[in-house]
Chains A and B, each alone.
Chain A
Amino acid sequence: MTNTPEKRFFFPKLVAVMAVGVLMGAGLCGLDFALAAHGIGKSTEEFGVGPLDGVSLAVMALSALGLLFSLAAWVLATIFKSREPAGGNNELPQVPDDRDQTKHDGR
Protein backbone atom coordinates (compact mmCIF):
# COMPACT_ATOMS: atom_id res chain seq x y z
CA MET A 1 0.00 0.00 0.00
CA THR A 2 1.50 3.34 -0.99
CA ASN A 3 0.91 6.55 0.92
CA THR A 4 -0.04 8.94 -1.85
CA PRO A 5 -1.97 11.97 -0.53
CA GLU A 6 -5.04 10.94 -2.58
CA LYS A 7 -5.18 7.56 -0.83
CA ARG A 8 -4.62 9.12 2.57
CA PHE A 9 -7.72 11.25 2.42
CA PHE A 10 -9.99 9.10 0.28
CA PHE A 11 -11.73 7.47 3.26
CA PRO A 12 -12.30 10.63 5.32
CA LYS A 13 -13.81 12.24 2.22
CA LEU A 14 -16.10 9.27 1.67
CA VAL A 15 -17.13 9.15 5.34
CA ALA A 16 -17.91 12.89 5.37
CA VAL A 17 -20.03 12.62 2.20
CA MET A 18 -21.95 9.61 3.54
CA ALA A 19 -22.61 11.25 6.93
CA VAL A 20 -23.89 14.40 5.21
CA GLY A 21 -26.02 12.11 3.00
CA VAL A 22 -27.75 10.66 6.07
CA LEU A 23 -28.28 14.14 7.50
CA MET A 24 -29.71 15.36 4.20
CA GLY A 25 -32.01 12.34 3.99
CA ALA A 26 -33.31 13.11 7.46
CA GLY A 27 -33.61 16.79 6.55
CA LEU A 28 -35.87 16.09 3.57
CA CYS A 29 -38.75 16.01 6.04
CA GLY A 30 -38.57 19.81 6.00
CA LEU A 31 -39.58 19.80 2.34
CA ASP A 32 -42.32 17.31 3.16
CA PHE A 33 -43.67 19.59 5.87
CA ALA A 34 -43.47 22.58 3.53
CA LEU A 35 -45.49 20.64 0.94
CA ALA A 36 -47.96 19.53 3.63
CA ALA A 37 -48.39 23.17 4.68
CA HIS A 38 -49.70 23.76 1.14
CA GLY A 39 -52.04 20.78 1.27
CA ILE A 40 -49.79 18.31 -0.59
CA GLY A 41 -49.26 14.84 0.94
CA LYS A 42 -48.31 14.10 4.55
CA SER A 43 -51.17 13.02 6.75
CA THR A 44 -51.59 14.84 10.06
CA GLU A 45 -51.21 11.72 12.23
CA GLU A 46 -47.90 10.76 13.90
CA PHE A 47 -45.64 8.88 11.41
CA GLY A 48 -47.86 10.08 8.56
CA VAL A 49 -46.42 9.37 5.11
CA GLY A 50 -45.50 12.27 2.85
CA PRO A 51 -44.59 12.35 -0.88
CA LEU A 52 -40.85 12.67 -0.15
CA ASP A 53 -40.72 10.07 2.63
CA GLY A 54 -39.75 7.29 0.20
CA VAL A 55 -36.89 9.33 -1.25
CA SER A 56 -35.87 10.43 2.23
CA LEU A 57 -35.87 6.86 3.54
CA ALA A 58 -33.89 5.59 0.53
CA VAL A 59 -31.27 8.35 0.87
CA MET A 60 -31.00 7.76 4.62
CA ALA A 61 -30.76 3.96 4.38
CA LEU A 62 -28.26 3.91 1.47
CA SER A 63 -25.98 6.56 2.91
CA ALA A 64 -26.17 4.97 6.38
CA LEU A 65 -25.02 1.68 4.84
CA GLY A 66 -22.32 3.48 2.89
CA LEU A 67 -21.26 5.27 6.05
CA LEU A 68 -20.90 2.03 8.00
CA PHE A 69 -18.84 0.38 5.24
CA SER A 70 -16.63 3.40 4.62
CA LEU A 71 -16.04 3.89 8.36
CA ALA A 72 -15.06 0.23 8.70
CA ALA A 73 -12.79 0.50 5.65
CA TRP A 74 -11.17 3.66 7.03
CA VAL A 75 -10.49 2.03 10.40
CA LEU A 76 -9.04 -1.08 8.71
CA ALA A 77 -6.90 1.02 6.37
CA THR A 78 -5.59 3.01 9.35
CA ILE A 79 -4.77 -0.18 11.24
CA PHE A 80 -2.93 -1.67 8.25
CA LYS A 81 -1.11 1.61 7.64
CA SER A 82 0.05 1.77 11.24
CA ARG A 83 1.52 -1.72 10.88
CA GLU A 84 3.54 -0.69 7.81
CA PRO A 85 7.24 -0.13 8.43
CA ALA A 86 8.39 3.47 8.71
CA GLY A 87 9.25 5.15 5.40
CA GLY A 88 6.30 3.60 3.63
CA ASN A 89 7.70 3.96 0.10
CA ASN A 90 8.26 0.25 -0.51
CA GLU A 91 5.73 -1.46 -2.73
CA LEU A 92 6.44 -4.88 -1.19
CA PRO A 93 4.93 -5.66 2.22
CA GLN A 94 7.57 -6.18 4.91
CA VAL A 95 7.51 -8.49 7.89
CA PRO A 96 7.40 -6.44 11.10
CA ASP A 97 10.61 -6.59 13.09
CA ASP A 98 9.92 -7.70 16.66
CA ARG A 99 13.26 -6.37 17.91
CA ASP A 100 12.30 -2.86 16.84
CA GLN A 101 9.04 -3.08 18.78
CA THR A 102 10.80 -4.15 21.97
CA LYS A 103 13.03 -1.11 21.60
CA HIS A 104 10.02 1.19 21.48
CA ASP A 105 8.47 -0.52 24.45
CA GLY A 106 11.60 0.21 26.42
CA ARG A 107 12.00 -3.36 27.61
Chain B
Amino acid sequence: MAYAAGYAVFRWQRGQQGDVVDEPQRWTVLAAAAVGALVGSRILGLAEQWPTVMEAWRSGRVWALLLSPGGKTIVGGLLGGWLGVEIVKKLSGIKRRTGDLFVLPLCVGIAVGRVGCLVAGLADDTYGKPTALPWAVDLGDGIGRHPVQVYEILFLVLIGILVSIKVKLPEGARFRFFLGSYLAWRVVIDFLKPQPLIGGMNLIQWSCLAGILVLISDELRLFFGDKQKTKPDSRR
Protein backbone atom coordinates (compact mmCIF):
# COMPACT_ATOMS: atom_id res chain seq x y z
CA MET B 1 0.00 0.00 0.00
CA ALA B 2 2.87 2.35 0.83
CA TYR B 3 4.48 1.79 -2.59
CA ALA B 4 1.15 2.18 -4.40
CA ALA B 5 0.35 5.39 -2.49
CA GLY B 6 3.81 6.80 -3.17
CA TYR B 7 3.61 6.00 -6.89
CA ALA B 8 0.11 7.48 -7.17
CA VAL B 9 1.34 10.75 -5.60
CA PHE B 10 4.39 10.72 -7.88
CA ARG B 11 2.23 10.40 -11.01
CA TRP B 12 -0.21 13.05 -9.83
CA GLN B 13 2.59 15.48 -8.98
CA ARG B 14 4.42 14.85 -12.26
CA GLY B 15 1.20 15.54 -14.15
CA GLN B 16 0.68 18.78 -12.23
CA GLN B 17 4.23 20.17 -12.25
CA GLY B 18 5.86 18.51 -15.23
CA ASP B 19 9.37 17.09 -15.10
CA VAL B 20 12.91 18.40 -15.54
CA VAL B 21 13.90 15.28 -17.53
CA ASP B 22 12.18 13.36 -20.33
CA GLU B 23 10.34 10.04 -19.86
CA PRO B 24 13.22 7.63 -20.65
CA GLN B 25 15.58 9.54 -18.36
CA ARG B 26 12.97 9.59 -15.58
CA TRP B 27 12.59 5.81 -15.84
CA THR B 28 16.37 5.39 -15.75
CA VAL B 29 16.44 7.46 -12.53
CA LEU B 30 13.49 5.50 -11.10
CA ALA B 31 15.16 2.16 -11.87
CA ALA B 32 18.42 3.32 -10.25
CA ALA B 33 16.51 4.56 -7.21
CA ALA B 34 14.58 1.28 -6.87
CA VAL B 35 17.64 -0.98 -7.18
CA GLY B 36 19.72 1.27 -4.90
CA ALA B 37 16.93 1.36 -2.34
CA LEU B 38 16.58 -2.42 -2.44
CA VAL B 39 20.29 -3.05 -1.93
CA GLY B 40 20.74 -0.28 0.65
CA SER B 41 17.73 -1.20 2.73
CA ARG B 42 18.63 -4.89 2.79
CA ILE B 43 22.30 -4.32 3.66
CA LEU B 44 21.55 -1.88 6.49
CA GLY B 45 18.57 -3.96 7.61
CA LEU B 46 20.74 -7.07 8.00
CA ALA B 47 23.59 -5.08 9.56
CA GLU B 48 21.13 -3.64 12.06
CA GLN B 49 20.13 -7.16 13.10
CA TRP B 50 23.73 -8.29 13.49
CA PRO B 51 23.03 -10.47 16.58
CA THR B 52 20.41 -12.40 14.56
CA VAL B 53 22.75 -12.55 11.56
CA MET B 54 25.53 -13.96 13.76
CA GLU B 55 23.13 -16.48 15.25
CA ALA B 56 21.99 -17.53 11.76
CA TRP B 57 25.63 -17.82 10.67
CA ARG B 58 26.50 -20.04 13.64
CA SER B 59 23.47 -22.28 13.14
CA GLY B 60 24.03 -22.51 9.36
CA ARG B 61 20.74 -20.74 8.52
CA VAL B 62 22.19 -17.90 6.45
CA TRP B 63 19.90 -18.69 3.49
CA ALA B 64 16.89 -18.61 5.76
CA LEU B 65 18.00 -15.19 6.91
CA LEU B 66 18.71 -13.83 3.42
CA LEU B 67 15.41 -15.09 2.06
CA SER B 68 13.40 -14.16 5.11
CA PRO B 69 11.03 -11.24 4.66
CA GLY B 70 11.66 -8.05 6.62
CA GLY B 71 15.15 -6.93 7.57
CA LYS B 72 15.04 -3.70 5.61
CA THR B 73 15.27 -0.11 6.69
CA ILE B 74 13.96 3.19 5.36
CA VAL B 75 17.28 4.95 5.99
CA GLY B 76 19.16 2.25 4.04
CA GLY B 77 16.62 2.59 1.24
CA LEU B 78 16.97 6.37 1.08
CA LEU B 79 20.76 6.35 1.18
CA GLY B 80 21.02 3.42 -1.26
CA GLY B 81 18.50 4.99 -3.64
CA TRP B 82 20.30 8.33 -3.51
CA LEU B 83 23.67 6.68 -4.22
CA GLY B 84 22.17 4.57 -7.02
CA VAL B 85 20.67 7.62 -8.72
CA GLU B 86 23.90 9.63 -8.47
CA ILE B 87 25.92 6.77 -9.99
CA VAL B 88 23.48 6.19 -12.87
CA LYS B 89 23.16 9.93 -13.54
CA LYS B 90 26.94 10.15 -13.88
CA LEU B 91 27.06 7.10 -16.16
CA SER B 92 24.22 8.24 -18.40
CA GLY B 93 25.16 11.92 -18.44
CA ILE B 94 22.00 13.26 -16.77
CA LYS B 95 22.95 16.70 -15.45
CA ARG B 96 19.61 17.91 -14.04
CA ARG B 97 18.64 17.42 -10.39
CA THR B 98 15.85 14.89 -10.38
CA GLY B 99 15.00 14.38 -6.69
CA ASP B 100 12.35 17.06 -6.11
CA LEU B 101 9.59 14.93 -7.64
CA PHE B 102 10.34 12.14 -5.15
CA VAL B 103 9.88 14.19 -1.98
CA LEU B 104 6.10 14.18 -1.56
CA PRO B 105 5.74 10.52 -2.72
CA LEU B 106 8.41 9.54 -0.19
CA CYS B 107 6.63 11.42 2.61
CA VAL B 108 3.34 9.67 1.77
CA GLY B 109 4.93 6.24 1.21
CA ILE B 110 6.92 6.29 4.45
CA ALA B 111 3.92 7.59 6.43
CA VAL B 112 1.68 4.77 5.12
CA GLY B 113 4.47 2.28 5.84
CA ARG B 114 4.70 3.55 9.42
CA VAL B 115 0.99 2.81 9.92
CA GLY B 116 1.91 -0.79 9.02
CA CYS B 117 4.79 -0.71 11.52
CA LEU B 118 2.42 0.43 14.27
CA VAL B 119 -0.18 -2.25 13.42
CA ALA B 120 2.52 -4.95 13.30
CA GLY B 121 3.44 -4.09 16.90
CA LEU B 122 6.39 -5.53 18.79
CA ALA B 123 7.38 -8.05 16.11
CA ASP B 124 8.29 -5.23 13.72
CA ASP B 125 11.19 -4.00 15.90
CA THR B 126 10.28 -0.35 15.30
CA TYR B 127 8.56 0.28 18.64
CA GLY B 128 9.51 2.93 21.19
CA LYS B 129 10.91 2.83 24.71
CA PRO B 130 8.57 2.56 27.72
CA THR B 131 7.03 5.82 28.90
CA ALA B 132 4.41 7.05 31.37
CA LEU B 133 3.18 9.81 29.02
CA PRO B 134 -0.63 9.92 28.54
CA TRP B 135 -0.36 9.06 24.82
CA ALA B 136 1.74 5.92 25.42
CA VAL B 137 0.61 2.88 23.43
CA ASP B 138 0.41 -0.71 24.64
CA LEU B 139 1.55 -3.00 21.83
CA GLY B 140 0.38 -6.15 23.57
CA ASP B 141 2.97 -6.66 26.31
CA GLY B 142 1.19 -4.48 28.87
CA ILE B 143 3.89 -1.78 28.74
CA GLY B 144 3.08 1.78 27.68
CA ARG B 145 5.53 2.87 24.95
CA HIS B 146 6.36 5.97 22.92
CA PRO B 147 4.31 5.76 19.69
CA VAL B 148 7.43 6.55 17.63
CA GLN B 149 5.66 5.55 14.42
CA VAL B 150 2.98 8.21 15.05
CA TYR B 151 5.67 10.79 15.85
CA GLU B 152 7.25 10.00 12.49
CA ILE B 153 3.95 10.25 10.61
CA LEU B 154 3.38 13.71 12.13
CA PHE B 155 6.92 14.74 11.21
CA LEU B 156 6.37 13.58 7.62
CA VAL B 157 3.08 15.51 7.41
CA LEU B 158 4.97 18.64 8.50
CA ILE B 159 7.74 18.06 5.94
CA GLY B 160 5.11 17.34 3.26
CA ILE B 161 3.39 20.68 3.99
CA LEU B 162 6.70 22.58 3.99
CA VAL B 163 7.88 21.18 0.65
CA SER B 164 4.48 21.82 -0.92
CA ILE B 165 4.69 25.58 -0.27
CA LYS B 166 4.99 27.23 -3.65
CA VAL B 167 8.28 29.08 -3.34
CA LYS B 168 10.89 29.40 -6.08
CA LEU B 169 13.80 27.23 -4.97
CA PRO B 170 16.89 25.96 -6.80
CA GLU B 171 16.49 22.60 -8.54
CA GLY B 172 17.04 19.73 -6.08
CA ALA B 173 16.71 21.94 -2.99
CA ARG B 174 13.45 20.30 -1.89
CA PHE B 175 14.96 16.82 -2.05
CA ARG B 176 18.06 17.87 -0.13
CA PHE B 177 15.92 19.58 2.49
CA PHE B 178 13.80 16.43 2.84
CA LEU B 179 16.78 14.07 3.00
CA GLY B 180 18.71 16.22 5.49
CA SER B 181 15.63 16.72 7.69
CA TYR B 182 14.66 13.06 7.66
CA LEU B 183 18.17 11.85 8.47
CA ALA B 184 18.47 14.41 11.30
CA TRP B 185 15.02 13.37 12.56
CA ARG B 186 16.07 9.72 12.65
CA VAL B 187 19.24 10.57 14.61
CA VAL B 188 17.00 12.18 17.26
CA ILE B 189 13.96 9.85 17.28
CA ASP B 190 16.02 6.65 17.37
CA PHE B 191 17.12 7.60 20.90
CA LEU B 192 13.53 6.66 21.82
CA LYS B 193 13.92 3.15 20.37
CA PRO B 194 15.43 0.25 22.32
CA GLN B 195 18.09 -0.80 19.80
CA PRO B 196 21.57 -2.25 20.36
CA LEU B 197 24.03 0.65 20.64
CA ILE B 198 27.53 1.04 19.26
CA GLY B 199 29.37 4.03 20.72
CA GLY B 200 26.19 5.52 22.18
CA MET B 201 24.07 5.32 19.02
CA ASN B 202 22.51 2.56 16.93
CA LEU B 203 23.63 1.64 13.42
CA ILE B 204 20.79 3.59 11.79
CA GLN B 205 21.82 6.75 13.64
CA TRP B 206 25.45 6.35 12.57
CA SER B 207 24.31 5.84 8.96
CA CYS B 208 22.14 8.97 9.19
CA LEU B 209 25.10 10.97 10.50
CA ALA B 210 27.26 9.69 7.64
CA GLY B 211 24.51 10.65 5.16
CA ILE B 212 24.23 14.15 6.68
CA LEU B 213 28.01 14.65 6.44
CA VAL B 214 28.01 13.59 2.76
CA LEU B 215 25.06 15.91 2.09
CA ILE B 216 26.80 18.88 3.78
CA SER B 217 30.12 18.26 2.02
CA ASP B 218 28.28 17.96 -1.32
CA GLU B 219 26.45 21.24 -0.69
CA LEU B 220 29.71 23.00 0.25
CA ARG B 221 31.43 21.62 -2.86
CA LEU B 222 28.59 22.85 -5.06
CA PHE B 223 28.46 26.23 -3.30
CA PHE B 224 32.17 26.93 -3.63
CA GLY B 225 32.24 25.40 -7.12
CA ASP B 226 29.49 27.83 -8.18
CA LYS B 227 31.34 30.77 -6.59
CA GLN B 228 34.52 29.95 -8.48
CA LYS B 229 32.56 29.65 -11.73
CA THR B 230 30.91 33.05 -11.24
CA LYS B 231 34.18 34.88 -10.34
CA PRO B 232 35.54 35.32 -13.91
CA ASP B 233 32.09 36.51 -15.06
CA SER B 234 31.96 39.25 -12.41
CA ARG B 235 35.29 40.69 -13.58
CA ARG B 236 33.97 41.28 -17.07
Q: Are A47 and B61 in contact (CB under 8 A)?
A: yes
Name the residue of chain A whose CB is nearest to the CB of B116: A30
Q: Return chain B residues, CB-CB under 8 Å to A77.
A: none
CB pair B121 A23 closer than 8 Å: no
Q: Which residue of B lies closest to A23 (CB)?
A: B38
On whether the beta carbons of B121 and A16 are closer than 8 Å, the reply is: no
Contacts of A57 in B (CB 8 A): 67, 69
B interface majority secondary structure? helix
A9 is contacted by which of B2, B23, B77 (Cβ under 8 Å)?
A: B23
Please tell me if B124 contacts chain A, counting CB pairs below 8 Å. Answer: yes
Chain B residue contacts of A11, Cβ below 8 A: 31
Chain A hits for B70, CB < 8 A: 26, 29-30
A12 at the interface (CB under 8 A from B): yes
Query: 1/0 per residue B19-45: CB within 8 Å of A?
Result: 000011001101101110110011000
Q: Are B64 and A47 in contact (CB under 8 A)?
A: yes
Jot down 30 A-B pairs with beta carbons below 8 A, ordered by A. Answer: A5-B24, A12-B24, A12-B30, A16-B30, A16-B31, A16-B33, A16-B35, A19-B37, A20-B3, A26-B70, A27-B3, A27-B69, A27-B113, A27-B116, A28-B69, A29-B69, A30-B120, A30-B124, A33-B121, A34-B116, A34-B120, A34-B121, A37-B119, A47-B56, A47-B61, A47-B64, A53-B69, A60-B69, A67-B35, A71-B35
